[in-house]
Amino acid sequence: MGRKITIEPVTRVEGHGKVTILLDDSGNVSQSRFHIVEFRGFERFVQGRPYWEMPVLTQRLCGICPVSHHLAAAKATDVIVGAGTGEGLTPTGEKMRRLMHYGQMFQSHSLHFFHLASPDLLFGIDADPAIRNVIGVAMKHKDLAVQGVMMRKFGQEIIRATAGKKIHGTGAIPGGINKNLSLKERDEFLKGADPLNIDKMIQWAQAALDFFKGYHSKNRSMIDNFAVFPSNHLSLVRKDGGLDLYHGVLRAVSPEGKKILNDVDYQDYYNHIGEEVRNWSYMKFPYIKSLGKKNGWYTVGPLARLNTCDFIPTPLAQKEFETYKAYTGGKPNNSTMHMHWARLIETLHAAEMIRELLLDKDLQGTKLTAKGAKLREGVGLIEAPRGTLFHHYKINDQDQVIMANLIVSTTNNNEPMNQAVAYVAKSEFTGKPEITEGMMNSVEVAIRAYDPCLSCATHAIGSMPLEMALCGPDGKIIDVKRKQG
């Protein structure tokens, strides 16, 4: 008789997750499912509201990366007010938004690495969960913990200066931005008292990367072999193939590096991306239409972005990118734990971009918005810290939203997360019908590598605890283990 294992709730992941492992009649793992428990229904909720509210309203989906929703919605409303897609804004409008976005990327990636991921690396996956957490890091590696806090703070201050508030600001408006950056604000970031200035941030981002590489050199087998499975990868890239986290064309590559989507305009993303609903999850399963539901799933986020882009347009990050690419012989990287590596390269890139933008006089420009002939529909895409984020709206003649479709990063990563969970569940399964500590830990680490923001993926609020259940083929629960967030 087959059985089912469920793990719930995963710690140090934003949101709430539950894992079920199904056993077949011979007692082997047949399938595993990563369920999302809550659902918030924003797509329905926004209907009837004026379109210009979207950037402020939809960012409430998430308290972790609201800036991404804020900007994706703003980009969709740019199209509606006739300011074009990406290129139509004024230089001040576009660059202020970019600064906001790179500030967000920098703080989110720093938070993930120092607070959520570093405990696994510093103490090892098998370490006692009682010390394998950020408090443990703070006690044993005080410098690292302080750096994490300060890097996060720096990014948040950039957000405050561009959006008006550290979380849930109002800076991006249809067609542009509502403020520029004063010289006083600029100088605080350029020449702020140590450590809160951009030069120090670049230095620390580089140091974090060096720390990871040092760890990697000592723990190759774990980092290189943990949950490795072939996947397609999708992200925006700049028109010339460079890494661009704010705007670009859609590119997808196969596990071998073959282009599946060759730099297409995202305004008609729905011709390329489908969304499958499965009866056991509130979260949809997106797929590339040309490959079909079964094979069309793809990964988004840092790993995917460094697999799709051809180069990184800032010098220090480009140098790291070259080393990173060389490690897989230029082929797409399919190692789950290399996501941390990719994330740190992006952190360095974000810091370099922030400096480049701060030195740009356009940030003090006064032409903040652009406008043209109004359209009734708009799509906005952005590379959020966790991956590609889609916002799509249709409005009526009275400016009210009549349709909204949001595909958030964690939804894009739905199938890869399921794949990763299945992979580690199989490799950790002892053959006995029970959930072991090793199984709990590995599933948790695999899910965390994706930095899933489950609260926004299912549009739910809350912290993220995990429950794991082991079930037979008849659906009967054999074993359940829980972990609080």
Partner 1 sequence: MSTSKSKTKAKAKHDVKAKAKSKSKSKSMKSSKIRFEIDGKECTAKPGQTIVEAARDNGVYIPVLCWYEGMEPAGICRMCMVKVGGRTMPGCTTPVAEGMIIESDVPELEDMRKAMVEMLFVEGNHLCPTCEKSGNCDLQALGYRYRMMVPRFPYQFPLRLVDATYTKIMIDNNRCVQCRRCIRGITTKDGRHVFAMTKRSGKSTIVADRELEAKISDALAKKAMDQCPVGAILKKETGFALPIGRRKYDKAPIGTEVHK
Nearer to partner 1, 164 or 438 (CB): 164
With CB under 8 A as the contact rule, the residue among 170, 328, 427, 436 that binds partner 1 is: 170
x/- site string to partner 1, residues 81 to 120, per CB under 8 A? x---------------------------------------
In the complex, minimum distance from the CB of residue 457 to partner 1, in angstroms, rounded to a whole number:
21
Nearer to partner 1, 323 or 396 (CB): 396
Nearer to partner 1, 50 or 315 (CB): 50
Strand partners, 232: 298
Nearer to partner 1, 185 or 346 (CB): 185
- Under the binding rule (CB under 8 A), the answer on residue 61 touching partner 1 is no
Q: Which helix H or strand E contains 307, and what residues bound it? A: helix 302-308
State the burial class of residue 184 (Cβ atoms within 10 Å of its Cβ: 0-12, 13-18, 19+): exposed
Token reading at 168: 């849930």
Token reading at 367: 């032409």
In the complex, minimum distance from the CB of residue 389 to partner 1, in angstroms, rounded to a whole number:
19
CB atoms within 10 A of CB 87: 9
Q: Where are the beta strands (DSSP E) in 104-200?
A: 172-173, 176-177
Distance CA 338, CA 223 (A): 7
With CB under 8 A as the contact rule, the residue among 188, 224, 399, 428 that binds partner 1 is: 399
Structural contact between residues 16 and 455, judged by C-beta atoms closer than 8 angstroms: yes
- Under the binding rule (CB under 8 A), the answer on residue 52 touching partner 1 is yes
Task: Count CA within 13 A, CB hemisphere, residue 274.
Answer: 13
With CB under 8 A as the contact rule, the residue among 179, 278, 289, 325 that binds partner 1 is: 179
Strand partners, 390: 381, 407
Give the pairing type, strands 3-9 and 477-483.
parallel
- Under the binding rule (CB under 8 A), the answer on residue 168 touching partner 1 is yes
Backbone angles phi, psi at 78, to 5 degrees: -55, -45
| CA of residue 447 relative to chain centroid, distance | 12
Nearer to partner 1, 103 or 174 (CB): 174
Query: Interface with partner 1 by CB under 8 A: which range of 159-167, 261-269, 380-388, 427-435?
Result: 159-167
With CB under 8 A as the contact rule, the residue among 164, 433, 462, 485 that binds partner 1 is: 164
- Under the binding rule (CB under 8 A), the answer on residue 380 touching partner 1 is no
In the complex, which residues of this chain contact partner 1 (CB under 8 A)?
48-50, 52-53, 55-57, 60, 81, 163-165, 168-171, 173-174, 178-179, 396, 398-400
